[in-house]
Amino acid sequence: MDVMVGHEKLRALLLESIHPDAVSRLHAAGCVVDTLPSALDEDELIERVRDVHLLGVRSKTQVTARVLEAGSQLLGVGAFCIGTDQIDLAAAAKSGVAVFNAPFSNTRSVVELALAEIIMLARRVFEKNNSMHGGVWDKAATGSHEVRGRTLGIVGYGNIGTQLSVLAEALGMRVYFYDTADKLALGNAKRCDTLDELLEVAETVTLHVDGRPGNSGFFGEEQFARMRPRSLFLNLSRGFVIDYPALRRHLLSGHIAGAAIDVFPKEPKGRGEEFTSELRGLPNVILTPHIAGSTEEAQADIGGFVANKLAQYVTEGNTTLSVNLPSIALPQQPQTRRIAHVHHNTPGVLAQVNSILAEHAVNVEGQLLATRGEYGYLLTDIGVDYPEDVLTRLREMEQSIRLRVLS
């Protein structure tokens, strides 16, 4: 069955080499899907999004208010990753555009890379590897350590931080964590009340914070200086949260013995473009191109998960796990039409909608309303026979943002 918007077939645009499973799922939902291997800048995206109903991005493409304004046909945006800070969520909600992400699908991939890098840094594997490629045989154990018995400090105790905590403890590490939110410690992990407290005890510090603006530059010269001498540092979260020149200085001085960095303030838009960083060329640094969550397994899971959420939204109106609209799911009865109504959350909207339906003798077969901040979302199932004036009246309501009729 093809999905239509009015008399127009639904069109999806997927950027940044999103997994083919996403394409297959959207094709199965009746969408026409266009794909691009790299990110687009704002002006390029504005040109491409004008006739698009569903947009899929990863971490590099910025979905700004200007993009959302140009995409007047947009119904949903999928972030095929964990973070959504690249999307203006408020502007999307204001336009009645639902945003979905994959908050759990690549957690294991990130955790496994973090653990692997902690072990490789502790054993100085990359330094030994580079020496061997240069023809130098250096078997000395100096500066090489087991991770068993060492202290790991996790900054950010969310989905990734908690799973890393459990697996690191299974390796015999002592785990401390710091989070601005009140989080329950797992296993024998110990909570630190302040970041400084964590830096005083941790021999390895790893960042797993989100992309909120308040986290920009929060780990800099002062924090690196407070870290224990010859400690290790990892950042697999966001590129803008640390001061990279400060990290370079502490690596060169030997205060920090090694680092693994997966994210950067400015990243190339696509494969093959030149990567520049003040950390290039340092022998005790592992640099990876934002691949912590990029395993085949994770990308397949993300592709299917987010595409499924987008498909369910356009075909059923369900917003389960939407990050910007109220989250609801209503089983639809046979022989009904579903009205999906995004509106401003003011008192009396439900009464007004039902009053319009009653005036036209339209029976309600099922109904569910949810609100989130200043926005509300209402699903109403009615009989298949109804006057067109019902939809006109509903769209003309002062509170209405977007109204769709689903089969």
Domain 107-287 classified CATH 1.10.1200.10? no
Where does the pLDDT of residue 113 fall: very low under 50, low under 70, confident under 90, or very high at 90 and above? very high
Higher-confidence position of 307 and 103: 307
Does the pLDDT of residue 354 top 60, yes or no?
Answer: yes
Poorest-pLDDT segment among 75-79, 190-194, 215-219, 230-234: 215-219
The 3 state secondary structure assigned to the chain is CCCEECCEECEEEECCCCCHHHHHHHHHCCCEEEECCCCCCHHHHHHHCCCCCEEEECCCCCECHHHHHHCCCCCEEEECCCCCCCECHHHHHHCCCEEECCCCCCHHHHHHHHHHHHHHHHCCHHHHHHHHHCCCCCCCCCCCCCCCCCEEEEECCCHHHHHHHHHHHHCCCEEEEECCCCCCCCCCCEECCCHHHHHHHCCEEEECCCCCHHHCCCECHHHHHHCCCCEEEEECCCHHHECHHHHHHHHHHCCEEEEEECCCCCCCCCCCCCCCCCCCCCCCEEECCCCCCCCHHHHHHHHHHHHHHHHHHHHHCCCCCCCCCCCCCCCCCCCEEEEEEEEECCCCHHHHHHHHHHHCCCCEEEEEEEEECCEEEEEEEEECCCCHHHHHHHHCCCCEEEEEEEC
| Confidence at residue 7, expressed as pLDDT on a 0 to 100 scale | 46
4: pLDDT strictly greater than 60: no
Chain CA centroid to CA 240, Å: 15
CA distances from 45 to 5, 57, 62 (A): 21, 11, 9
The model's pLDDT over 150-198, given as tens digits with 9 standing for 90+, comes to 999 999 999 999 999 999 999 999 999 999 999 999 999 999 999 999 9
Catalytic residue list: 238, 267, 290
Does 2 score more than 60 pLDDT? no
Residue 111 has pLDDT above 50, yes or no: yes
pLDDT above 50: residue 33: yes
Average pLDDT in the chain = 94
Cα 57 to chain centroid, rounded: 10
Q: How many CB atoms lie within 10 A of CB 132?
A: 11
Determine which of 64-78, 154-168, 189-203, 267-281 has the lowest per-residue pLDDT on average: 267-281
The answer, yes or no, to whether residue 1 has pLDDT greater than 50, is: no
pLDDT > 70 fraction of the chain, expressed in percent and rounded: 98
CATH code assigned to 1-106+296-325: 3.40.50.720
State the pLDDT confidence band at 212, using cuts at 50, 70 and 90: confident
So what's the pLDDT on residue 5?
Answer: 55
Same fold for the pair 107-287 and 326-407: no
Give just the sign of the alpha carbon dihedral 73, 76, 79, 80. negative
Which band of pLDDT confidence, cut at 50, 70 and 90, is reported for residue 206?
very high
CATH, range 326-407 = 3.30.70.260
d(CA 89, CA 83): 12
User: What pLDDT score was predicted for residue 300?
Assistant: 94
Residue 269 pLDDT: 79
Query: What are the extents of the domains in the chain?
Result: 1-106+296-325, 107-287, 326-407
Burial status of residue 234 (CB atoms within 10 A of its CB: 0-12, 13-18, 19 or more): buried
- Mean per-residue pLDDT for 291-313? 95
What is the average pLDDT across 210-219? 88
